[in-house]
Structure 1
Amino acid sequence: MRALLMKDFLMLSKQIKMMVAIFAVLIIISFITNMTMVLVIFSLIFASLQLTTAFTFDEMSKWDKYANTLPVDRKTIVQSKYVLGLILIASGIVIFTPVVFLSDEMTRQLPFIDIFQTIVIVLSIALFYISLTIPLFIKFGTQKARFIIFAIVFLPVFGSGFIQYGLRTVGLNQLMSYIKYVPIAAFVFLLLSYFVSVKWYERKEF
């Protein structure tokens, strides 16, 4: 698996350099504007999107056809993508969470618990994202999967009337009480996603 991850990181090296440059500018801006939480959100979103880039590179170079001639089983190939996604997300958390807490110590904007909850929720959303995208990329390819993901992500926007009705019915306070279960749901969804991805990849013809 190490060789597969090295291959992905080598392909993403130019993207990572650009990401570091962008984040360096954003860190400066976040301290000036006191909007460091936006930095964490952006970093996790950007890290998750790098997984899409990795799949796109593989598809363009016909990597899977070559990979399946190597002495590596298909399950390991799928595992490498999940590990890559988790490493990218963890890197965003490790690098930028200290920046958020340092900025908050200087500005006293938000209580510690609010910052922590926000980071956990954003992290959970990032896990949901990779759990959704990996099996779809494996099953349909990056081009078709992007349209499916777009429909899944933006469908709630078009159904905002139903969301507002649900909030009035359930109550915002009651809804917020379930927020603590979001990380657990994200972890369970990630496991289910992995098993589905392995099953689809093992059945796929290259």
Structure 2
Amino acid sequence: MVGLFLNQYYSVSKTILSYAVAAFVLVLVVIGIGNELLVFFAMYMPIIFLVSPAFEVLKHESQSGWNKFVLTLPVNRGNIVQSQYLFFLFLMSIGVAITIMAFVVAEWVLGSTMNQELMYTMMTGIGIAFIMGAISYPATYVFGTEKSDTIVLVATLSGVGLFLLAQQGFARLLEQMSIETVASMNGSLVFNGSFLVIGLVLFVISYFVTMGIYNRKEY
């Protein structure tokens, strides 16, 4: 399992580094600009950036023939899929860490602080990333790595689209509640937290779906 994880890391290590640096600098620039909308966008931009190399691994493994060679090693197909999903979570954690680090530096330099609303927005970014993974992994195994770029693009747009739909649905739900109930609840926390949980549930379901697809593949 460790060997599988390290192989994935080293195959895209340069990409991870370049994305990490670019995301960190971009967040600092956005914070420096001070536009509120852009700052909210910056809360999940590094997360989306950093999980992208996880999908490049599948393409590299297919092009190099590693996806066939690895089956001759003392690992089972479950280990292979598990290592891919764990690698995705590893990259996501890096994206979260970069976002927090950028705001810490911005606080030292510019006096900007990460308030609760920004933290809730980061939860949305994590939820979108989970949805990206939930769609990209099984779809790539079904349609092939040749279409992986298109799949990741569709998965990203789907994550954003589901967020916008959820936002509209939540707004309508609030309209049905009493003013006292709405005033007593933390709407941002409830919505963003719920969206994150939905993304996580889809990601977990996707793991089992991908496992089933991969077990049926013949090489």
Q: Under TM normalisation by the shorter chain, which class is it?
A: 0.7 to 0.9
State the shift of 1:145 in Å: 4.9
Q: CA, structure 1 residues 25+53, in 2 after alignment: closer, same or farther (shift >3 Å)?
A: same
Residue number in structure 2 paired with 1:83: 86
Percent same amino acid among aligned pairs?
23
Of structures 1 and 2, the one scoring higher in RCO (CA 8 A, sep 6+) is 1
Partner of 1:132: 135
Distance 1:152 1:30, change over 3 A: closer
Unpaired runs of 5+ residues, structure 1, are none
CA RMSD of aligned residues (A): 3.2
**1:24 positional shift:** 4.6
- Supply the distance in 1 between the matched residues of 2:105 and 2:140 (Cα, whole angstroms): 38
Q: Does 1:7 align with 2:7?
A: yes
1:103 to 95, 103, 106: 106
CA contact (8 A) 1:11 1:57 kept: yes
TM-score (norm 1): 0.80
Q: Distance in 2 between matches of 1:28 and 1:151?
A: 28
User: Within 5 Å, which residues of 2 pair with 1:34-53?
Assistant: 34=34, 35-53=38-56
Could you say if the C-alpha distance between residues 40 and 54 of structure 1 is closer, same or farther in structure 2, counting changes exceeding 3 Å? farther
Aligned-pair CA distance for 1:154: 4.9
Per-residue Cα deviation, 1:134-191 (whole angstroms, up to 9, x for no partner): 1111222122354455556557999xxxx6xx949x6374596644321221121111
2:213 equivalent in structure 1: 200
* Residue-pair matches, total: 199
2:215, 2:39 → 1: CA distance?
Answer: 42
The answer to whether the 8 A contact 1:36-1:103 is kept is: no
* More divergent stretch after superposition (176-185 vs 187-196): 176-185
Q: Which runs of 5+ in 2 are unaligned?
A: 177-186
Q: Could you say what secondary structure the match of 1:68 adopts?
A: helix
1:66-81 aligned at under 5 Å gives the runs: 66-81=69-84
Distance 1:181 1:107, change over 3 A: same
